């Protein structure tokens, strides 16, 4: 989606599927509400729709009242499909037909949580990259081979804006409205919601290992638990093998077979992930972060960090404070967030 089109978004529609996830739905709308509140004017409008109108129940048992799609008096700029539990059964032909009509009219389309499934099933994600909750990713990759499913929290590919579940829609909506309202206002909205750091399009889902590898790899999980418990004073490969009751050769083979890397590389990734969280979410000095993450020197830490994330720790820290330093001046710079290779 071009910056000009993103900046012109003002009229949002949310198509609620039965059993949609309330937290994803609410996080998206609340960003628009707060933008209006802080600006003192109606910058954004939204409607909640369904093919026939009437109440639609969320997965938590609460219902929202929707209006029939045919009753919309004004064409929305973008329509988000809000999915949730048992999305295959919740998506019917009426939903698919409505989405195809929106697409035919040139309206941008998006999804929250499992709503991506409805877009894919309607054929509107063929040739696109998209995001969906990690629980559904493997199955949908098989079902829709013409669509690229990415690990990012949200993906913007031309006129498609797809987002995972939970609180990720908050980050996505802040990213969408930033070109219009400016980074300073986005920071104010985040502060109202007690959000310390806004994630951008590079942020990835933290998929639990058990979801990626299966529950049978008990020995691997035990070693990783040891690593996560010993970040400040990393254990040697010999110590990890001894504590896990295996040989070093077995340890090496276990990580290469299931994670495609050595135990040393994976351990370094964990420590750098922790370092980035501390850089972006605390005011700890870089030297203290260096020691807290088990690095012997600031030089080694800086080089490892740059190799992993493409930027120096000092530059990463400046990203964190830049929006506040700019005061109320509008800006369209991309908001930073930690990326992590899984």
Do 125 and 83 lie in one domain? The reply is: yes
In a domain, 201, yes or no: no
Q: How many domains does the chain have?
A: 2
Partners of 112 in beta bridges: 82
What is the domain-level CATH number for residue 317?
1.10.10.60
Q: Does residue 333 form part of some domain?
A: no
124 close to 99: Cβ distance less than 8 angstroms: yes
334: pLDDT confidence band, cut at 50, 70 and 90?
very low
Domain's final residue, options 192, 227, 242: 192
SS (H, E, C) 240-303: HHHHCCCCHHHHHHHHHHHHCCCHHHHHHHHHHHHHHHHHHHCCCCHHHHHHHCCCCCHHHHHH
Could you tell me the two tokens for 209?
């290992």
pLDDT in tens, 252-291: 998 988 888 999 999 999 899 888 878 876 778 899 999 9
130/53 same-domain check: yes
Q: Write down the pLDDT at residue 336.
A: 31
Top-confidence residue, 92 or 206: 92
Predicted local distance difference test score (pLDDT) of residue 7: 83
Indicate the average pLDDT of the chain. 85
* pLDDT score recorded for residue 122: 95
Question: Scanning the structure block, which residue is given the tokens 């929006």?
Answer: 323
Q: Residue range 169-196: average pLDDT?
A: 89
CB 30 within 8 A of CB 22: no
pLDDT of residue 221: 81
The verdict on 214 and 181 lying in the same domain is no
140 shares its domain with 264? no
Residue 204 lies in a domain: no
pLDDT at position 138, please?
A: 65
Find the domain containing 10 and state its range. 3-192
The confidence score (pLDDT) of residue 209 equals 56
Residues 167 and 115 in one domain: yes
Of the chain, the percentage scoring pLDDT greater than 70 comes to 87
- Higher pLDDT: 268 or 2? It is 268
In terms of pTM, does the model score above 0.85? no
Q: Using the predicted structure, report yes or no on whether residue 331 has a pLDDT greater than 70.
A: no
Token pair for residue 244? 């896990």
What's the pLDDT at 235?
94
Distance CA(221)–CA(229), nearest Å, equals 12
> Domain with 28 in it: what CATH number?
3.40.50.880
Q: Give the span between the Cα atoms of 172 and 15, in whole angstroms.
A: 17
pLDDT for the residue numbered 93: 96
| Residue 332 lies inside a defined structural domain of this protein | no
Question: Which domain-ending residue is among 149, 166, 192?
Answer: 192
Establish if 301 belongs to a structural domain.
yes
Please determine, for residue 205, whether its predicted confidence score (pLDDT) is greater than 70.
Answer: no
Q: Please give the average per-residue pLDDT across 316-328, as a whole number.
A: 51
Residues 257 and 318 in one domain: yes
- My answer on whether 115 and 216 are in the same domain is no
The confidence score (pLDDT) of residue 325 equals 38
pLDDT at residue 25 greater than cutoff 90: yes
Indicate whether 102 and 23 sit together in one domain.
yes
Same domain, yes or no: 25 and 170: yes
């Amino acid at each position: 989606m071009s910056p000009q089109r993103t900046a012109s978004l003002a009229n949002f529609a949310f198509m609620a599927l039965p059993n949609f996830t309330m937290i994803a739905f609410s996080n998206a709308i609340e960003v628009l509400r707060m933008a209006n509140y802080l600006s003192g004017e109606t910058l954004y409008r939204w409607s909640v729709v369904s093919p026939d109108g009437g109440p639609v129940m969320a997965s938590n048992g609460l219902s929202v009242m929707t209006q029939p799609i045919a009753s919309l008096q004004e064409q929305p700029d973008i329509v988000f499909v809000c999915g949730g539990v048992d999305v295959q059964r919740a998506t019917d032909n009426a939903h698919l037909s409505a989405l195809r009509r929106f697409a035919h009219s040139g309206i941008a389309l998006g999804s929250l949580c499992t709503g991506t499934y409805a877009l894919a099933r309607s054929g509107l994600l063929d040739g696109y990259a998209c995001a969906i909750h990690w629980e559904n990713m493997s199955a949908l990759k098989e079902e829709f081979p013409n669509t690229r499913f990415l690990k990012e929290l949200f993906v913007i590919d031309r006129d498609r804006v797809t987002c995972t579940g939970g609180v990720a829609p908050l980050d996505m909506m802040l990213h969408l409205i930033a070109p219009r309202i400016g980074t300073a206002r986005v920071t104010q909205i985040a502060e109202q919601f007690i959000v310390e750091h806004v994630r951008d399009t590079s942020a990835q889902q933290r998929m639990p290992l058990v979801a990626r590898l299966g529950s049978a790899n008990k020995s691997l999980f035990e070693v990783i638990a040891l690593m996560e418990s010993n970040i400040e004073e990393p254990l040697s490969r010999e110590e990890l093998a001894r504590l896990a009751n295996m040989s070093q050769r077995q340890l090496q083979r276990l990580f290469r077979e299931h994670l495609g890397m050595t135990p040393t590389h994976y351990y370094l990734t964990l420590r750098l992930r922790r370092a980035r969280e501390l850089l972006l979410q605390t005011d700890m000095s870089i030297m203290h972060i260096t020691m807290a993450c088990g690095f012997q020197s600031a030089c080694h830490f800086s080089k490892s960090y740059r190799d992993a994330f493409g930027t120096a720790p000092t530059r990463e820290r400046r990203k964190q404070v830049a929006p506040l330093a700019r005061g109320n001046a509008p800006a369209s710079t991309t908001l930073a967030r930690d990326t992590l290779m899984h």
